[in-house]
Structure 1
Amino acid sequence: GGKDLKTEQERITRMNILVCTPGRLLQHMDQTPNFDCSNLQVLALDEADRILDLGFAKTLNAIIENLPKHRQTMLFSATQTKSVKDLARLSLQNPEYIAVHDKSDYSTPKQLQQHYMVTELPGKLDMLFSFMKTHLQCKAIVFLSSCKQVRFVFETFCKLQPGVPLMQLHGKQKQQKRVDIFTQFSRTKHAYLFCTDVAARGLDFPAVDWVLQVDCPEDADTYIHRVGRTARYDLAGRALLFLLPSEEEAMVELLKKKRVPIEKIRVKQSRKQSIQQQMQAFCFKDPEIKYLGQKTFVSYVRSVYLQRNKDVFDVSALPLEEYAASLGLPGAPRIRFVKSSAAASEESGSESDASESEEKAVSVKQKAQPKSKIDRMFQRKNQSILADHYTKLVDQEGDRLAMTKLTDAGDDDDDFMTLKRVDHDLDDDTLPVHSQQSKRSLRKTKKEIVKTATRGEKLLFDDEGEAHPVYEFEALDDFMKEGSVSEKQRAYVEKGLAEMRDADAADRATAREKRREKRQKRKQREREVRGNDDDGDFTSSASLRARKHISSGSDSEESDVDAHRRSQKPSKKRARIMEVAEPTTLEDQERLALQLLGAL
């Protein structure tokens, strides 16, 4: 599944061994032409107990109908099923049961060390983070009960930076993303993988040192599959299970029935680190973390509530307020099914008291009969057009619980709950007089309300998550203990002057640097202009001298003196003069002309 169907259709007819999921195999049976299973010889089911579960019942029945009856069927699983109904569905005749650990004392490998520890629900994340800080050089898999928990723990622990690579794997991710994470975790030597039960079966992670089960598994079979990710083949491994005080007794008993050797350990409180304040700071600063924490709270409580084994999982025993605080939430989100279950337990425990209170209520109703139409109106049960079941849906569970508790309180609270009629008649003088106001006057009143209304107070949160106002006033006694007012004024003035001097010095240094850069740029421009002028002077002087030599053929003493004087005159621009022997013949003059042309 998860790949292109057309590509598989081109290859599937040329295969002898086919590895597939039940859904994709049934899809090929229905949609792929020339896909014939009549010659099938062997049918192998891996994780057979899960495939034979009710979730794959219809798919598996449809697949078996298309397979030949004369075949060899093999079932593989760490927790094999022996149900006669499940085996009959596969048309098995005289099946043979082969078990690796059937004759051994334990159902898990001998090289696997298994321990469990009892911790309160609010301290689970503290314990997990403390374990990670003390086991940085290891490769571990951490199992949680829901996808929301995996995302929340992964995001918050990445912000805490424990010092080891972290990864997440859950069913909400796409298949390619899960494959990439599986490959990355398999190649990494030291890392922690937060995952759900999607990684409990069928995945072979090499060299896993620890398997941590932060949330209790639903049964012993799930526990066996989880710890099976470590101690593969002949390698050693360790497993640690976190249990709540309400889960310890029943879960340990289930593991003993499955022949799982597990020992209890205790944690040194000196090595335990608390991360509650950091979690609160994350929730205050990042609304997405807060929203994810709320979803995590609800998903965990729902997973406990939906478990079948109520001896292990008891929602009423969970400290919800403390657990919400450990996640960094300001309060526990309201969950209807938890309150309804608590109300049902209270109702079942107080049936005898309810019968007595009903008798008293009947006697009171008989005495207090409605006398007028208004009294009859207040005695009606359905005072709206909505149905009774809709009013039950809209009814808040907290109000219902409060009503039940108050009714069971006794005769002392009867006066509090009894409906008493009060005279609400008003005199004409007390009635307010409403006058029609113009839009202009209404606009003025709105402006006055805005001016006089109290404005919100701005708060700042420190690293520990505590709120502080922007400007905090100090007590007068504490202020006077530090020194007199004059001394503080003098110190404040000196401090301000020192800051001004430092700022002035910095400004002066910056101005000097800017002036120096400006001078350098100006000098650079002048050098470039001077270089261009020098080249022009050199060419012009050389050409003039050549013309004079060519026209006259010989220089007189006066021309030499004049030329020498012109060369000795001071000028701002220095000209480069090229010394050349006096040409005597026509060839010498041509050679001089070529030299001058080459200089250009």
Structure 2
Amino acid sequence: MARNQKISTQERRNLREKHQQAQKDRQEKLAQLDPKEYTKFTKFSELPLSRQTLIGLRGAHFIEMTGIQKEAIPPALQGQDILGAAKTGSGKTLAFLIPLIEMLLREDWNEFDGVGALIISPTRELAMQIYEVLLNIGKHSSFSCGLVIGGKDFKYESERIGKINVLIGTPGRLLQHMDQSANLNINNLQMLILDEADRILDMGFKKTLDSIISSIPPQRQTLLFSATQTKSVQDLARLSLTNPKYINSSSDLDLATPDSLEQSYIVVPLNEKINTLWSFIKTHLKSKILVFLSSSKQVHFLYEAFRKLQPGISLMKLHGRQKQTARIETTVKFSHAQHCCLFATDVVARGLDFPAIDWVVQLDCPEDASTYIHRVGRCARAGKEGKSLLILTPSEEEAFVRRLEAKNIKNISKLNVRGAKKKTIEPQMQALCFKSPELKYLGQKAFIAYFKSVFIQKDKEVFQVQKLPVEEYAKSLGLPGAPKIKLLEKSAKAMTEEQLSKLKERKNASRQLLTLSKLDENGEEKPEDKKKVRTKYDKMFERQNQNVLSEHYRNLNAEQDDEEEDFISVKRTDHDLTENVPELDNLPTSKRAAKKALSKKAMSKAGANPKKLVFDDDGKAHEIYELAGEEEFHEQGDALDQKTKFIQQESTVMAEADSEDKVVAKEKKVEKKRRRQDIERKAKEESDLSEEDDEEDEDEEELPDIARDYDSDSSGDDEPDRKKTKKWFENDRGINGTDFNTKVIELEKPDTIDDMEALAEQLLHG
């Protein structure tokens, strides 16, 4: 046993020495790498990577490297800070995950060392995708990784975050854990990775990102990947990177779309967009389609409306206002679907890798050329083919096409819609909104959200909100009229660029962050922001569209309407009833007039304020706060005499009421006594008719204790107590003179001859 233990110990020592020698050899090879030869490597196996990493890459079918991987992985392995930019779908995820795995293996990282690497992603879906890729290629390593995103159980994450080595998450949830999770240790952080940094800044996370960077150790390696090199990204790089290596920093080259992508656009009026989208879906039922819209409310409305119209293809929706479980479920379903149509916002536009998407349709114009590139980048990934369709309005065409040409996107062709393929669903949309108040409410919200998304855009040459057909667009959504939009009453030119940026950040910011921003240093609500607590019922009553309420409230409201249908209701007259009745000349004859007749506000505009009247005992109406005049009061006599007279009158009224109450009480007492006697007489008659005492005792119902009730009711009576006589059930002898004290023999019914003989013998000798 000792000999076997000695051999196993020696083997472990040999393995450890072999592992250390392999690490030393890899470090020497990395130090000898020439920056000019980075691009000569074509396969991952040519790089000085560990055996665990190469096995994980081979198992995930990653063999050859892309352009960004060739230039970013070698310097990142050497410990340099990276500022990289590459076109979408070029493999940026592996460009930072491979150096991360190699760094942890080189440092022999374990669960007691805390968080060694931190990956920040702009969206939950992208963070989940990075987490899954890391699990696939790093499953042969011994370190642990964790995913922290909004929408999940914070307490569950907080209990396990102390043993995580690689932490992947969104900015808001990461900052929350840094502030509230006591077992989170980031003092030994070795690597910080920012994926899609430009998108993180566009979504309003700049302050959150600054707080995270200021809380982590300055001595670290930082990898920052961004699709565009904007001024905000450059400022962030100066703050967080030290002597970074710039990779693919030429924005014009990096923003070029893949060659395998077939791009096209069409120009249709705003009110024809819904019809065009419906016609496109009906002609591409065997395709996998991704439709981009500007706001979550538009996504929700189109999904519900098209779902009722049933185009013949599976429909899904994905936006930032959904619950996390629904977002995960939709992402997985769409990834595995073959023929499907997904309505989504720009939350899907960055980094997500959905396999085999055939068409990317942009129903609403993207805010800039970079967003356009990220949207169309969801298809034609990794050399595969794909198609994109951009739908523009006449006011957006000229300016936005120039923006695309300035970004080296010149291979986009203009198409014309065939009249034979075009279908109109405007009548069906109007019928749906007429039948369903909920859908009409969603349509109104979608209408306002679209105009708001156009109004807050900075590029006013492309987005001209004043040129949009308001009434026509509302009609295309099925609405009876255009809702009132406060933004259209303001002038876009009157707002500065900074104000528009704040509006955009507020639109993209999460509700939780907006709530936290309203709290002071002690975590309490600021005095200027304190308002009355509003419940969900208060919000329902404050809605403009009162038809869209919760289901249980509508049912309750309907019951009340049925009960009060004829109570103070002014109904429309179908024929003239006021011909010979002058008093009814002003009777309202329409719903609007009836509403005005019952509205205090409308009545006050027409004349004097209404007066509240009450009716006295004589049936005369007078104001509720009517007071007698001083002269009238003195005419009625002295004040003391009036007081004495009033007291005498009230005393007389009370005496009369008292006598009436006594008469009623006496009648009740007599009636109760009569009912008691009837019950006793009926019980006696039933007992006389019964033949067997045992059966009678079992079947007889328990009689009420009339005597007790009578005694308690008559305790306050003035009549003298009378001598009580014993009742029939209180006698010493029972019914028909039977003595209850004598022995009673219980006999069973004989079944056989033997039983009858035994019974006879018992009766004779008993």
Which bracket does the TM-score occupy, shorter chain normalised?
Answer: 0.5 to 0.7
Equivalent of residue 206 in structure 1, options 355, 375, 379: 355
Equivalent of residue 223 in structure 1, options 367, 372, 378: 372
Aligned counterparts of 1:163 and 1:169: Cα–Cα separation in 2: 20
Does the 8 Å CA contact 2:294/2:453 hold for their aligned counterparts? yes
Does the 8 Å CA contact 2:248/2:254 hold for their aligned counterparts? no
The residue that corresponds to 1:323 in the other structure is 473
The residue that corresponds to 2:423 in the other structure is 273
Aligned length: 357
Aligned counterparts of 1:173 and 1:53: Cα–Cα separation in 2: 20
Equivalent of residue 172 in structure 1, options 310, 321, 328: 321
1:449 Cα deviation (Å)? 4.5
Q: Confirm or deny that 1:122 pairs with 2:258.
A: no
1:447 Cα deviation (Å)? 12
Q: Identity of aligned pairs, percent?
A: 56
Q: Confirm or deny that 1:243 pairs with 2:414.
A: no
The residue that corresponds to 1:136 in the other structure is 285
- After superposition, the C-alpha distances for 1:329-374 in whole angstroms (9 at most, x for unaligned) are 22222223313439989xxxxxxxxxxxxxxxxxxxxxxxxxxxxx
Q: Confirm or deny that 1:303 pairs with 2:449.
A: no
* SS, match of residue 361 in structure 2: strand
1:81 Cα deviation (Å)? 4.0
Q: Confirm or deny that 1:71 pairs with 2:220.
A: yes
Does the 8 Å CA contact 1:48/1:81 hold for their aligned counterparts? no
Q: Report the AA paired with residue 195 of structure 1.
A: A
* SS, match of residue 337 in structure 1: helix
Does the 8 Å CA contact 2:224/2:237 hold for their aligned counterparts? no
1:141 Cα deviation (Å)? 0.7
Aligned counterparts of 1:168 and 1:274: Cα–Cα separation in 2: 23
The residue that corresponds to 2:305 in the other structure is 156
Q: Aligned in 2, Cα 1:309/1:453: closer, same or farther, shift over 3 Å? A: closer
Does the 8 Å CA contact 2:364/2:392 hold for their aligned counterparts? yes
- After superposition, the C-alpha distances for 1:55-107 in whole angstroms (9 at most, x for unaligned) are 222221221122222221111233344654221221x2222222398795961
The residue that corresponds to 1:232 in the other structure is 381
Bigger radius of gyration among the two: 1
1:204 Cα deviation (Å)? 2.0
1:452 Cα deviation (Å)? 8.2
* Structural mapping, 1:38-57, within 5 Å: 38-53=187-202, 55-57=204-206
Q: Aligned in 2, Cα 1:120/1:177: closer, same or farther, shift over 3 Å? A: same
Does the 8 Å CA contact 2:267/2:397 hold for their aligned counterparts? yes
Aligned counterparts of 1:227 and 1:290: Cα–Cα separation in 2: 31
Q: Aligned in 2, Cα 1:182/1:450: closer, same or farther, shift over 3 Å? A: farther
Q: What is the RMSD computed on CA atoms of the aligned residues?
A: 2.8
Does the 8 Å CA contact 2:433/2:478 hold for their aligned counterparts? yes
The residue that corresponds to 1:409 in the other structure is none
1:144 Cα deviation (Å)? 0.8
Q: Confirm or deny that 1:197 pairs with 2:346.
A: yes
5+ residue gaps, structure 2: 1-148, 496-579, 592-766
More deviation, 57-66/160-169:
57-66
Does the 8 Å CA contact 1:101/1:108 hold for their aligned counterparts? no
Does the 8 Å CA contact 1:304/1:313 hold for their aligned counterparts? yes
Does the 8 Å CA contact 1:246/1:312 hold for their aligned counterparts? yes
Asked which structure has the greater RCO (Cα within 8 Å, sep 6+), the reply is 1
- After superposition, the C-alpha distances for 1:100-145 in whole angstroms (9 at most, x for unaligned) are 9879596111111111111100100110001011100000111111
Q: Aligned in 2, Cα 1:148/1:9: closer, same or farther, shift over 3 Å? A: closer
Q: Report the AA paired with residue 417 of structure 2.
A: V
Does the 8 Å CA contact 2:227/2:255 hold for their aligned counterparts? no
Q: Confirm or deny that 1:333 pairs with 2:487.
A: no
Aligned counterparts of 1:59 and 1:264: Cα–Cα separation in 2: 42
1:207 Cα deviation (Å)? 1.1
1:450 Cα deviation (Å)? 11
Q: Confirm or deny that 1:110 pairs with 2:259.
A: yes
More deviation, 285-294/239-248:
285-294
* Structural mapping, 1:175-190, within 5 Å: 175-190=324-339
* SS, match of residue 44 in structure 1: strand
1:217 Cα deviation (Å)? 0.6
1:252 Cα deviation (Å)? 0.8
Equivalent of residue 405 in structure 2, options 244, 256, 259: 256
* SS, match of residue 153 in structure 1: helix
Aligned counterparts of 2:186 and 2:483: Cα–Cα separation in 1: 54
Aligned counterparts of 1:77 and 1:447: Cα–Cα separation in 2: 80
The residue that corresponds to 2:296 in the other structure is 147
Aligned counterparts of 2:243 and 2:464: Cα–Cα separation in 1: 42
Q: Confirm or deny that 1:288 pairs with 2:473.
A: no
Does the 8 Å CA contact 1:78/1:224 hold for their aligned counterparts? no
Q: Aligned in 2, Cα 1:335/1:451: closer, same or farther, shift over 3 Å? A: closer
1:455 Cα deviation (Å)? 7.4
1:211 Cα deviation (Å)? 0.6
Q: Report the AA paired with residue 191 of structure 1.
A: C
Q: Report the AA paired with residue 288 of structure 2.
A: K
Which runs of at least 4 in structure 1 moved beyond 6 Å after TM superposition? 100-103, 342-345, 445-448, 450-453
1:53 Cα deviation (Å)? 4.4
Q: Confirm or deny that 1:96 pairs with 2:239.
A: no
Aligned counterparts of 2:433 and 2:443: Cα–Cα separation in 1: 8
Q: Report the AA paired with residue 270 of structure 1.
A: A
Q: Aligned in 2, Cα 1:197/1:446: closer, same or farther, shift over 3 Å? A: farther
Aligned counterparts of 1:295 and 1:447: Cα–Cα separation in 2: 48
Q: Report the AA paired with residue 258 of structure 1.
A: K
More deviation, 128-137/175-184:
175-184
Equivalent of residue 11 in structure 1, options 160, 166, 175: 160
Aligned counterparts of 1:89 and 1:343: Cα–Cα separation in 2: 34
Aligned counterparts of 1:21 and 1:9: Cα–Cα separation in 2: 15
Aligned counterparts of 2:249 and 2:355: Cα–Cα separation in 1: 21
5+ residue gaps, structure 1: 346-444, 457-600
Q: Report the AA paired with residue 434 of structure 2.
A: F
* Structural mapping, 1:343-358, within 5 Å: none
Q: Report the AA paired with residue 152 of structure 1.
A: F
More deviation, 336-345/190-199:
336-345
* SS, match of residue 270 in structure 1: coil
Does the 8 Å CA contact 2:455/2:492 hold for their aligned counterparts? no
Q: Report the AA paired with residue 311 of structure 1.
A: E
Q: Aligned in 2, Cα 1:25/1:268: closer, same or farther, shift over 3 Å? A: same
1:39 Cα deviation (Å)? 2.0
The residue that corresponds to 1:31 in the other structure is 180
Q: Aligned in 2, Cα 1:53/1:342: closer, same or farther, shift over 3 Å? A: closer
Aligned counterparts of 1:54 and 1:328: Cα–Cα separation in 2: 32
- After superposition, the C-alpha distances for 1:222-277 in whole angstroms (9 at most, x for unaligned) are 11111111112122111110011110111111111122232211111121101111
* SS, match of residue 167 in structure 2: coil
Q: Aligned in 2, Cα 1:62/1:264: closer, same or farther, shift over 3 Å? A: same
Aligned counterparts of 1:75 and 1:313: Cα–Cα separation in 2: 32
Q: Aligned in 2, Cα 1:86/1:342: closer, same or farther, shift over 3 Å? A: closer
Aligned counterparts of 1:180 and 1:120: Cα–Cα separation in 2: 35
Equivalent of residue 207 in structure 2, options 58, 68, 79: 58
Q: Aligned in 2, Cα 1:123/1:53: closer, same or farther, shift over 3 Å? A: closer
Aligned counterparts of 1:8 and 1:191: Cα–Cα separation in 2: 34
Q: Report the AA paired with residue 282 of structure 1.
A: L
Aligned counterparts of 1:265 and 1:100: Cα–Cα separation in 2: 34
1:446 Cα deviation (Å)? 10
Does the 8 Å CA contact 2:255/2:370 hold for their aligned counterparts? no
Aligned counterparts of 1:268 and 1:203: Cα–Cα separation in 2: 33
* SS, match of residue 246 in structure 2: coil
Aligned counterparts of 1:330 and 1:71: Cα–Cα separation in 2: 60
Aligned counterparts of 2:228 and 2:372: Cα–Cα separation in 1: 10
Q: Report the AA paired with residue 260 of structure 2.
A: Q
